[in-house]
Amino acid sequence: MLQRTRFPAGKIKPQFLARELAVLAFNQRVLAQAQDRRVPALERLRFLCILSSNLDEFFEIRVAELKERIRLGNEITIPGETPSVEVFPLVSERAHALVAEQYRLLNKEIFPELAEEGVRFLAEPQWTREQRSWLHNYFLREMIPLLTPIGLDPSHPFPRVLNKSLNFAVQLEGRDAFGRNSGTAIVQAPRALPRVIQLPQTIAGKGHVFVLLTSILQAFVQALFQGMTVRGSYPFRVTRNSDLFLDEEEIKNLRTALAGELSQRHFGDSVRLEVADNMPAELEQFLLEQFQLAADDLYRVDGPVNLVRLMQIPDLVDKPALKFPAFVPGVPKQLEASPDLFRVIRKGDVLLHHPFQSFNPVIDFLEQSVDDPSVVAIKQTVYRTGTDSVLMKYLIDAAQRGKEVTVVVELLARFDEEANLNWAAKLEEVGAHVVYGVVGYKTHAKMSLVVRREDGRLRRYAHVSTGNYHPRTARLYTDFGLLTADDKICEDVNEVFKQLTGLGRARRLHHLWISPFSLHERVLAAIKREANHARAGKPGHIIAKMNALIEPKVIETLYRASQAGVKIDLIVRGVCSLRPGIPGLSENIRVRSVIGRFLEHSRIFYFLNGGQDDLYLSSADWMGRNFFGRIELCFPVLDRRIKERVIQEGLKPYLSDNSQAWEMDSDGNYQRRKSRGRIPRSAQEQLLALLAADK
């Protein structure tokens, strides 16, 4: 059982942990969820798929950048950071260990456990005669028309292989109709083909029976090479650099430039090669040479080369006992009392805590704005919203009804660029004002503003949030959202929209901290203020919950605050480059990470401030990109009642969690907390019990 994340001592600089290793440490904590036998079997499978998805992005972005830095000789990007040439061997060692454990777990524990419950994945030797016949017909009917085998010879060079696509290297004997005998062919599996096929109940027998596309093609691949002998068929997958490059000084039209760059994403430089573990060594070497990769870039796997495609299995299997218990998100009491959202918000701010509370009020906020004749304008940012978003459809409807609709669409939301381009086009078609933020800065702020005519004057209503306007992920990610009619906050939100859509210098805002203008300096000032309180003999306390902490200036300022005597509790889900518990440097800092059923996504910043209990919610992590390369929003919680709720729901349960929490030591290693005879406490389970509706 891999329950600790440990890296070789002496390789990391004293103050900053290498970001790439911290990413892998987070992914090992994800793997631990799949290792946990207390987690239902289909959820364990889902965690394995999440790990695969995370590793895909890790290689596409982080490893690609690491390899590029090594290639260019740009070893150090931040003072005190470990040189890239030293980090890469550690990354390779850790990533190979993660993948090996991932497939061991799949084959030795999860597949057998699922089989006992009637969920089976059949390999070719396990097929009955009836199943083989059905699968052969499926191959002839659904697969052969889409398959294009490519024999390798001087007139057929090695094909361009798409990023993360499923391919097969086929070894052959004999000569074809033209007398060719190259001995090797490549078969690319079209993306239109499902990777998992469920057998009909009439031939499956009891339970749910699945066959992988890989097994079907390997069983019947001979049909693609008539008159020749197939010696072997081996799946492989290559991962490529998927970061987009746009020369901001040369861009005339961001939307046009992005559309052109997206078409090339599938063919970036190779960074990883995954192959079946039974692939012959000479074929492995041949593929490595084709993709210009080294032995360290090769990952042999005992099973499907793309586990992400198994993510659909839990949704295809109707077995509640193998999944987390279903729940119904709750609704705040003030919203239950009145269907009129605007009336409720005028009376006082409304806090929403997702996924424990429903995202529907956010949808209702927009729906009522569309239907209400008193609403004259709607403004909203879009970062990630999905390909089938009801919110975007409401915005389109509002524009068609003649309301002033302004949408700031972030075209460079990584891996959502295509969906956002499509929504931008649809919005423009109906007359909405669509802007793409500011070139050089991603618009990551989550905010919506509605302008309504009331009693002869215009009044603003706002929704500000730590999470995206994405109804599906709102069921999976923990986030806070605030519905407010506070004049000063709404005025600030309107000012931010003006900065995004127009021109002019940034004005000083009443309450909001904004990147790239004020957020970094305000966070540093708040940390320094706690240090000053501590030096004056007063209590100093900081609690910060976020996804990542790597910005050097913030880390250095936290170190100084610790040295001054400030108690600092950091709840960092993912990457943390700060080292806690170092005598004389960070002995007053504690770092923990909570990994559970839901993805922790909310950002909460608490500063004691002499008893004032300053509390902020934000779209930003404490990373350089959030402070200096994005438009980010950090908003205060002013209502004392709501402030107490955020502390009681968003901070305290996570600091006392002894079931799903991991604590970091001064070497950057994580140890999972255990109850050890005490009452087990899980923050997410407590919040479900507190906030979810009764079924």
Contacts of 18 (CB under 8 A, 6+ apart): 12, 81, 82, 87, 90, 577
Burial track 287-315 (b if 16+ CB lie within 10 A, e otherwise): bbebbebeeebbbbbebbbbbbbbbebbe
State phi, psi for 42 to the nearest 5 degrees: -70, -30
Cβ atoms of 277 and 232 within 8 Å: the answer is: no
Preceding omega of 471 cis (within 30 degrees of 0):
no
CA-based torsion, 666, 580, 644, 468: positive or negative: negative
DSSP output for 180-245: ----EEEEE--TTS-SEEEPPHHHH-SSEEEEEHHHHHHHHGGGGSTTSEEEEEEEEEEEE-----
Q: Which structure tokens are listed for 147?
A: 């398959």
468 token code pair: 């995206």
CA distance 424 to 435: 9
CA distance 368 to 481: 18
> In sequence order, what DSSP letters do the residues of 356-418 get, joined into one string?
TB-SHHHHHHHHHHHH-TTEEEEEEEES---SS-HHHHHHHHHHHTT-EEEEEE-TTSTT-HH
CA-based max dimension of the chain: 90
Backbone angles phi, psi at 385, to 5 degrees: -135, -15
- Structure tokens belonging to residue 660: 């799903």
Which is the catalytic residue, given 444, 463, 533, 601? 444
Distance between CA 428 and CA 417 in Å, rounded? 16
Q: Which residues contact 675 (CB under 8 A, 6 or more apart)?
A: 658, 659, 681
Query: Taking a C-beta distance cutoff of 8 angstroms, is the pair 537, 530 a contact?
Result: no
Tokens coding 665? 């030591």
601 catalytic residue (yes or no): no
* 3-class DSSP state of 349: coil
- Residue 151, Cα to own-chain centre: how many angstroms? 38
C-alpha–C-alpha distance, residues 681 and 652, integer Å: 11
Task: Measure the CA–CA gap between 596 and 61, rounded to whole angstroms.
Answer: 25
Helix, strand or coil for residue 589? strand
- Residue numbers annotated as active site: 444
